[in-house]
Structure 1
Amino acid sequence: MKIQGKTALVTGASRGIGRAITQELAKQGMQRIILVARNKQQLLKVAEVIASMGTEAIVLPLDLTQTVDVNIAIAKTWKLHGPIHLLINCAGVAHQSPFLQAKLPKVQEELSLNLMGIYSMTHFIARRMASKREGRIVNVSSLMGKIGAPTMATYSATKFAILGFTQALRSELAAYNIKVTALLPSLTETDMTRNTQRFRWVASMTPEKVAKVLVDSLEKESPEILVGWQSHLAVFGNRLAPRLLEGWLQLTAPKSIKQEMKKTIFSRGY
């Protein structure tokens, strides 16, 4: 996909990987970027940076879990600014917790935003892309969409689901000349991950690196884009020796969380 002269919509654009993607797209010549996130003030700051690069920035504050509001906003945006050629679903949230201590409201938040938020936004835009017989959709999953990790059960579940969703759409939307791709970064230094306890011996990467890999890959037809050597190694290891990888994940899990898991088991008599 040639991005020059095209319009992109990026969710989760106010921070982290989403923000880095918008800046990389602007750097590479995207004509217009529609910035979607809940925080309007943060979006305005991103818009200022993008505008300084010569790209038109449109701020669209939205809560992706509010389906009716999203539908209305997308219809108005498409009418005012023309077709959206590239959709990047990057919005997401992660809550780290041993499964037995998981809080239902946080579980529901992850399911609503990480999965249903992507589903509804893609539905509204893909229908319009199909009428134009042109489009590219990138769903941001995670390495945890390939390999489930202790203390991240709900997050892993949503990211596995995104891969299945992406694979199904890839076949279904091909007839409309819509390409669908999944992006799978590993641990990335963002505001979200700073609030989690790290797995030992796992190196992190910057949002800028993830964004560059994605944008450089847009001209290719890859169904999945893995970012970083650790991601490639982990996926290969999971295919070759899944039990060995599972043991390694248990070994690298944060010590404090493993202790909490044991306390929960003993205190409840499991």
Structure 2
Amino acid sequence: MNVKGKTALITGASRGIGRAIALALAQQGIHRLLLVARNPQRLQEVADEIEAMGVEAIPLVVDLSDRIQTNVVLSQAWRDFGPVHLLVNCAGVAHQAPFLQSKLLHVQEEIAINLMGMYGVTRLIGRRMASQQSGTIVNVASLMGKVAAPTMATYSATKFAILGFTQAIRGELAAHNIRVMSLLPSLTDTDMVRDLEWFRWAVPMTSEQVAEALIRGLNRDADEIIVGWQGRLAVWCNRLMPWVLEKTLQFAAPKFEDRSRPEYHFRHAGDTSL
């Protein structure tokens, strides 16, 4: 896909991988960027940075877990700024905890934003792309959508679902001249993951490296873009020796206090958090 002169909509554009993708597209000569995120201050900062590069940037403050707000704002943006040629679904959240210590509110947030938010945006923009018989959709998943990781059960589940969703609609939307791609970064050094306990031996990549991989994938119209040697190695190992990879991940996973023990519940009987 040649992005010159095109319009792209990027969710999760205020920081991390979403911000890096927006800047990379601006460097490639894209005409207009519709930037979607929840934080108005950060979003405006990214928009200002892109405008300084000579590219039109439109900040759209949207909480993707709010379906009505999402539909209203994005529908209005399509009417005001014209067709979207490239959609990049990058918004996501991650909460880390052993399964038995997981909190329902965190689980609901991950599903609402990572999965349902992505689904809603894709449905709204995809229908409009179908009417114009052209478009490209990139769903940012994760290596954890191929290889599930201990302490990240719900996050892994949403990323597995994103890959399944992407594969399912790829054939359907091809009939409308719409390409559907997935981007699978491994551990990336962003604000989100800095709050997590990292796995042993994991070497983080930068958001800029992920964005560069996406640009290369767009240029060759790849269906799936696995970013970095660690990701390719893990996927290869999972295909050939899944039991080895599973044992390795169990050993490499960060250790948390075992709150499932009866004595823990006795000491923390007053904890009513979900």
- Equivalent residue for 2:176? 176
Instruction: Give the Å deviation of 1:265.
Output: 4.1
Distance 1:197 1:264 in 2: 20
Distance 1:267 1:23 in 2: 51
- Equivalent residue for 1:264? 260
**Bigger helix fraction:** 1
Alignment of 1:179-218 (within 5 A): 179-218=179-218
Gapped regions of structure 2 (runs ≥ 5)? 266-274
Alignment of 1:72-221 (within 5 A): 72-221=72-221
Gapped regions of structure 1 (runs ≥ 5)? none
- Which amino acid in the other structure matches residue 107 of structure 1? V
Distance 1:151 1:267 in 2: 21
Instruction: Give the Å deviation of 1:221.
Output: 2.7
Distance 1:134 1:246 in 2: 41
Distance 1:64 1:46 in 2: 19
Q: Helix, strand or coil: the match of 2:138?
A: strand
Q: Helix, strand or coil: the match of 1:157?
A: helix
Q: Helix, strand or coil: the match of 1:204?
A: coil
Instruction: Give the Å deviation of 1:220.
Output: 1.8
Q: Helix, strand or coil: the match of 2:170?
A: helix
Aligned residues with identical type, % of pairs: 59
Distance 2:249 2:21 in 1: 29
- Give TM-score scaled by structure 2 length: 0.95
Q: Please, what is the CA RMSD of the aligned residues?
A: 1.1
Alignment of 1:41-60 (within 5 A): 41-60=41-60
Deviation string, structure 1 residues 28-74 (Cα, Å, up to 9, x no partner): 10100000000111111000110111110001000001111111111
Distance 1:142 1:162 in 2: 9
- Equivalent residue for 1:253? 253
Distance 2:157 2:264 in 1: 25
- Which amino acid in the other structure matches residue 264 of structure 1? S
Instruction: Give the Å deviation of 1:216.
Output: 1.8
Distance 2:166 2:219 in 1: 18
